[in-house]
């Protein structure tokens, strides 16, 4: 890339930055950043999002709009799936439920169920959580067992299908019952129609919640406001030079994101290795989940943005080994969507086999300081530097953008190290 190309990219970025600054100013003045989902830190919580969707779909919901929002949702599903049938008279017997338990199938819980005398429609919601083994298979079998007309909808951010592990050994006909839909398309369209509903316009609380939920989903699916999209699109389209520069940026963007992940872990590891923590500064050098895994095929940073779910890049350090226990306690810093750190019973992804007495010794050493989770590989973990300040490497929150400011990056690393010191200073395993 020559100097002229670099200058063209810089000029383009300057123009786009001006548009972003303009909309940032608008959001600040109009309360666009005041979002209850963000304030309560539930903007990517599947359970919370499901509860809101359920409340809107439920004809008996607290919105008191009857089946108006459900009808809009069903109409969109009919447009999405040509063989999906739902008749007008079915609204007379419709029931909308959440977290429906299937005790005969490993106590599975279906996120949402729409049921009538004629139809059984399970909806599985996935934001960042991965599929469980044979999960969709169990839901399909439950739907078929009702002897009703069955369609299962698999709702993800981008409309991705379920994994082969989730589908299991379903036959070809049963696989056809599973219909992928997305927050990016179907849910945003539906919420927009709910917002436009003639009664909704008159009811401020419902209207404002819909506005805020739409904003959250736009961010989850990496979408901007329509006006902002159009302005940036016009800038890109106004000349060959701008479009070529934009294509060059696109080619380099993922690499820039991966570079930042590596930069964060490198900065933290350099700090850790200089600190007299209670644990030994000993890296695990065989962990495929470590950010600097030299096998490029499986390197979790290289593959982080190529997969829907996280590849869990991180870095592990060994704590003092328990006396004669034959087990190790590890401190690990890791990225799912946000950065976090904590104590593990294993540096690798598999569950270690621990004697009960040895496990009790680990837990007793930590329980005086932390709320522990004894049945997990993670004994205790916390966001770095805290829940509200952790950068999100999937959603690209403001804290993530701050990492590209050198001063703010250093401040973030220092605060993260302060949290790590706080977590480790009172731990004495003997």
397 vs 106, residue with greater confidence: 397
- Encode pLDDT of 61-93 as tens digits: 999 999 999 999 999 999 888 889 999 999 999
Residue 55 has pLDDT above 90, yes or no: yes
Q: Please report the sign of the dihedral spanned by the C-alpha atoms of residue 342, residue 343, residue 344, residue 348.
A: positive
44, pLDDT greater than 80: no
Q: What residues does each domain of the chain span?
A: 37-227, 253-424
Asked if pLDDT for residue 197 goes beyond 90, the answer is: yes
Report which of 409, 395, 342 is spatially closest to residue 372, judged by C-alpha positions. 342
Instruction: Decide: 416 and 339 in contact? Cβ < 8 Å.
Output: yes
Please enumerate in sequence order all residues whose Cβ is within 8 A of that of 219, keeping only pairs 6 or more positions apart, or say none: 43, 395
Contacts of residue 124, Cβ cutoff 8 Å, sequence gap at least 6: 110, 111, 135, 136, 139, 152, 153, 154, 155, 162
Measuring CA to CA, which residue among 398, 262, 399 is closest to residue 335? 262
**pLDDT value at residue 105:** 66
- pLDDT recorded at residue 362: 62
Quick one: CA dihedral 364, 366, 370, 375, positive or negative? negative
Give the C-alpha separation, 213 to 298, whole Å. 36
Distance CA 365, CA 233 (A): 57
- Token pair 């779910």: residue: 309
Confidence of residue 46 (pLDDT cuts 50, 70, 90): confident
pLDDT of residue 327: 54
Query: What's the pLDDT at 106?
Result: 66
Percent of the chain with pLDDT over 70: 84
- pLDDT greater than 60 at residue 322: no
Residues with Cβ within 8 Å of residue 376, at least 6 apart in sequence: none
Question: DSSP letters of 261-289?
Answer: HHHHHHHHHHHHTTS--SS---B-SS-TT
Q: How far apart are the first and last CA of the chain?
A: 58
Dump pLDDT digits (tens) for 263-295. Answer: 999 999 888 877 765 555 555 555 667 888 777
Q: Closest by alpha carbon to 329, among 293, 373, 363?
A: 363
Span 323-373, pLDDT tens digits: 444 556 778 899 988 999 988 776 554 444 445 565 566 666 665 566 655
pLDDT of residue 356: 54
CB distance 403 to 359 below 8 Å? no
Residue 24 and residue 256: Cα distance in Å, rounded? 23
Does pTM top 0.85 for this prediction?
no
pLDDT exceeds 60 at position 374: no
Task: Give the chain's mean pLDDT.
Answer: 84
Composition of the chain by helix, strand, coil, percent to 5: 45, 15, 40
Model pLDDT for residues 219-271, shown as the tens digit of each residue = 888 787 778 888 988 998 888 988 888 888 888 899 999 999 999 999 998 88
Residue 405 has pLDDT above 60, yes or no: yes
How far, CA to CA in Å, does 151 sit from each of 90, 123, 166, 410? 15, 9, 16, 51
Q: Looking at the predicted structure, is the pLDDT value of residue 321 above 80?
A: no
Q: What is the pLDDT of residue 349?
A: 46
* Spatial CA neighbour of 62 closest among 167, 186, 160, 205: 205
**Rounded-to-integer distance, Cα 139 and Cα 106, Å:** 11
Quote the pLDDT of residue 266: 94
Q: Are 116 and 151 in contact (CB under 8 A)?
A: no
pLDDT of residue 325: 47
């Amino acid at each position: 890339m020559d100097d002229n190309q670099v200058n063209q990219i810089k000029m383009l970025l300057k123009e786009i930055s001006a548009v972003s600054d303009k909309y940032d100013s608008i959001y600040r003045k109009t309360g666009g950043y005041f979002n209850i989902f963000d304030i309560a830190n539930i903007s990517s919580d599947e359970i919370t999002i499901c509860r809101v969707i359920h409340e809107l779909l439920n004809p008996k919901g607290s919105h008191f709009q009857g089946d108006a929002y459900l009808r809009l949702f069903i109409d969109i599903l009919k447009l999405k799936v040509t063989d999906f049938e739902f008749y007008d008279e079915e609204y007379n017997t419709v029931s909308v439920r959440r977290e429906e338990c299937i005790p005969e199938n490993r106590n599975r819980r279906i996120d949402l169920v729409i049921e009538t005398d004629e139809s059984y429609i399970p909806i599985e919601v996935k934001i960042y959580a991965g599929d469980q083994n044979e999960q969709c298979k169990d839901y399909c079998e439950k739907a078929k067992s009702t002897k009703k007309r069955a369609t299962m909808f698999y709702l993800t951010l981008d409309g991705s299908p379920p994994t082969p592990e989730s589908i299991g050994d379903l036959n070809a006909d049963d696989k056809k019952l599973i219909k992928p839909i997305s927050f990016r398309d179907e849910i945003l369209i539906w919420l927009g129609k709910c917002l436009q509903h003639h009664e909704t316009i008159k009811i401020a609380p419902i209207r404002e919640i819909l506005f805020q939920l739409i904003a959250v989903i736009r961010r989850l699916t990496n979408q901007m406001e329509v006006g902002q999209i159009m302005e940036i699109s016009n800038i890109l389209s106004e000349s060959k030079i701008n479009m070529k520069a934009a294509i060059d940026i696109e080619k380099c963007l993922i690499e820039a994101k991966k570079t930042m992940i590596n930069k964060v872990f490198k900065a933290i590891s350099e700090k850790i290795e200089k600190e007299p923590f209670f644990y030994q500064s000993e890296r695990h050098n065989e962990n495929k989940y470590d950010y600097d895994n030299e096998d490029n095929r499986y390197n979790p940073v290289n593959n982080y943005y190529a997969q829907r779910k996280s590849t869990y890049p991180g870095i592990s350090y060994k704590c003092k080994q328990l006396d004669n226990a034959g087990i190790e306690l590890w401190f690990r810093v890791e990225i799912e969507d946000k950065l976090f750190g904590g104590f593990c019973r294993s540096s690798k992804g598999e569950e270690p086999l621990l004697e009960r007495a040895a496990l009790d010794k680990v837990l007793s050493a930590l329980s005086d300081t932390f709320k522990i989770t004894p049945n997990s590989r993670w004994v205790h973990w916390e966001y770095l530097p805290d829940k509200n300040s952790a950068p999100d490497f999937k959603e690209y929150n403001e804290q993530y953008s701050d990492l590209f400011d050198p001063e703010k990056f250093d401040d973030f690393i220092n605060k993260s190290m302060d949290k790590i010191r706080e977590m480790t200073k009172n731990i004495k395993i003997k």
